[in-house]
Amino acid sequence: MVDIVNSNEPSVEAETKPRGAVPSWVITVGSLCALLGLWEVFGRDINPVFGSYPSAIAQAFWELARSGKLWTAMVESLRPFFLGYGLAIVVGVPLGLVTGRFRTVEAAIGLYITAGYAMPLVALVPLLVLWLGLGFAVKVAIVFLMAVFPICINTWLGVTAVPKTLIEVGKSFVAPNTVILRRIILPATLPYIMAGIRLAVGRAVVAMVIAEFFTSISGLGAVIINSANNFDTATMFVPIVILMVMAIGLNYLIGAVERYVAPWQAEIAGRDE
Amino acid sequence: MGEVSLQDISKKFTLRIDGVVQTVQALKRVSFKVDDGEIVALIGPSGCGKTTALRIAMGLETASAGKVTVDGREVRGCGHDRGMVFQFAELLPWLSALQNVMFGLEMKGMRGAELRDTATRYLELVGLSGALNRRPHQLSGGMKQRVGIARALAIDPKVLLMDEPFGALDAQTREVMQAELLELQARTKKTILFVTHDLDEAVLIADRIVVMRNGAVQEIMSMPLKRPRGDLGAMRGTAEFADARYRVWKALHATPETVH
């Protein structure tokens, strides 16, 4: 029988970009500079109540940071954010797994998950306040409710997309249902789960601001509201920009986690460019 | 010991075709037996039910009637007494070759050093000692199927069931794998039931061929080629091979109706 002798030969490493092409980060930085430049140039012509521009926002950021207000607000916001978001992952993934795997569970609760995704949460905030008060708990609940459904639905969808034959591999080796779920379905669904977790970042950020607007006014949401009320548009933009940058950072982090927990996926899938 | 027999197996599917619910009889009282250490090929045109018969033997599908026995005992569902080799290998893409083989063994309850050693031994047996840590996408089609075979053999089943194991491979690789399978069988003395639509493959490898048509066994034919068969390439040139091949070809084309 032929033995594979040379196992150290470089394996099928896909070449990610053609030789001589501009690196992606250069394109991104270029795009960012162009956007900020245009905003700066045209933003200056606008009445500072109606709009702002990067250098004014940077200055407002500096003042907020120096006074210490920014850090307090961020801590106030991020605690419920991460707790609610974390809970959404911890609950959403297993719920999605069992919903996708078991027909009875799907029939029993699939409906509520689909409906929950489209739930007009803002309208329900007053009710949540009645139940949970105005403090920390209600904010966690709002973030959780906005983030859990995309995670759950994506996981559910992912499970139904797992090739039947992989499950049959488990069955043919007499793997119990729990093993099939944990060792075949979960890893096969990981790319979908990670996509859901990414989608949920944006919704969780929005949920956090909604929570701070409509419950006790606090955190970054309070900074937005208070500066808007004072027609201090530049300061108002500071938390908005911070939140968007944070979302980008989180997305990047999740991408890194995905490459770590599901390295095979990055090797199999990809853009043909 | 390892003999498997299908006794009066019937299978009905309910299908909805163009809004009309139809019952399709996929298998009609299929009976045949694979003796200990024997290689039997199930052959027939696509849609004849050969894969369904194999899947029922494995326990991946249930028969509407009839029973499957292994060494005389009736079996229901999957079991470690039967090892399945899938058409496209179906390795778990997140596991290395070694871990894929270990998966099957773990399901049998093996743990610790023995687990790793056994898996390594079977990968060596199929000639993959240098690729233990490669993931499936880093393996060629032939190598993947070798891992698939090692995974099924490692649990030391009484019967090896193979569903068009080389159907997805290119012609050259297929020939190499056919020779390797015979060699593996000579070493392990496993009972093998395999499905193929490749007439040459069936004649070259099998001791007996079960010809199926429209869900029923049409003919069971013994092959004159004796084992060990040595060089399969040379075997193709012999009059015995040509003769046997022609007999099976005639059986396959016996009825005038053609199913595509």
* Rounded Cα distance, A142 and A134, in Å: 11
Closest CB from A1, A172, A187 relative to B60: A172
Nearest CA in chain B to A13: B138
What is the average per-residue pLDDT within A205-212?
91
Whether B137 and A264 lie within 8 Å, measured CB to CB: yes
pLDDT at A171: 94
Residue A9 maps to a domain: no
In the block, tokens 């687990």 appear at: B115
Residue A212 maps to a domain: yes
Tell me which chain B residues have a C-beta less than 8 angstroms from the C-beta of A7.
130-134
Q: What is the largest CA-CA distance in chain A?
A: 81
| Distance in Å, alpha carbon of A136 to nearest chain B alpha carbon | 40
Residue A40 maps to a domain: no
- Give me the interface pTM, i.e. the ipTM: 0.88
Angle between helices A69-101 and A219-229 (to 10 degrees): 130
Residue A22 maps to a domain: no
> Among A174, A180, A258, A260, which would you mutate to test the B interface (most chain B Cβ atoms within 10 Å of its Cβ)?
A174
DSSP string, B142-179: HHHHHHHHHHHHHT--SEEEEESTTTTS-HHHHHHHHH
Q: For B13-58, what is each residue's pLDDT tens digit?
A: 888 888 888 888 899 999 999 999 999 999 998 888 899 999 999 9
Residue A118: CATH number of its domain: 1.10.3720.10
| Distance in Å, alpha carbon of A32 to nearest chain B alpha carbon | 37
Q: Identify the domain containing residue A168 by its residue range.
A: 59-265
Per the structure, the count of domains in chain A is 1
pLDDT at B90: 93
Helix (H, G, I), strand (E, B), or coil: what is residue B74?
Answer: strand
Q: For A43-66, what is each residue's pLDDT tens digit?
A: 888 888 888 889 999 999 999 989
Q: Which of B105, B13, B2, B113 is nearest to B55 (CA)?
A: B13
Residue A240, Cα to own-chain centre: how many angstroms? 16
Is A168 an 8 Å CB contact of chain B?
A: yes
Whether A1 and B103 lie within 8 Å, measured CB to CB: no
Rg (CA), chain A: 23
Residue A222 maps to a domain: yes
pLDDT at A45: 85
Is A172 an 8 Å CB contact of chain B?
A: yes
Whether B137 and A12 lie within 8 Å, measured CB to CB: yes
Instruction: Give yes or no for a contact between B41 and B161, defined as CB atoms under 8 angstroms apart.
Output: no
pLDDT at B60 over 70: yes
Q: Which of B9, B122, B2 is nearest to B59 (CA)?
A: B9
* Rounded Cα distance, B144 and B129, in Å: 13
Residue A119 maps to a domain: yes
Closest CB from B94, B108, B183 relative to A187: B94
Q: Kindly state the tokens that stand for B257.
A: 């109706």
* Rounded Cα distance, B134 and B98, in Å: 8
Residue A203 maps to a domain: yes
Q: Which of B65, B47, B46 is nearest to B6 (CA)?
A: B65
Residue A112 CB partners (closer than 8 Å, separation 6+): none
Residue A8 maps to a domain: no
* Rounded Cα distance, B42 and B211, in Å: 6
Whether B88 and A5 lie within 8 Å, measured CB to CB: no
Tell me which chain B residues have a C-beta less than 8 angstroms from the C-beta of A184.
92
